[in-house]
Amino acid sequence: MGRQRRPWLNTTQKAEIWKLWREGESLSAIARMLERQPSAVYHVVNRNGGISPPA
């Protein structure tokens, strides 16, 4: 049996990641809140160098 993959993060989840990141939450804590792998959250934040994109 292979690893079960979840669908990509949707826009609402990405907005929640940025909201929590600005509030000072760690990537691991955000991943736990969204029930995702920390690597998924890392990729969203890392894509913009840790700076939230303009609305």
Q: CA nearest 39: which of 12, 1, 16, 5?
A: 5
Domain layout of the chain by residue ranges: 11-47
* Element at 50 (helix H, strand E): none
pLDDT above 90 covers a percentage of the chain that reads 75
Residue 50 makes CB contacts below 8 A (sequence gap 6+) with 21
Model pLDDT for residues 12-37, shown as the tens digit of each residue: 999 999 999 999 999 999 999 999 99
> What pLDDT was estimated at residue 53?
86
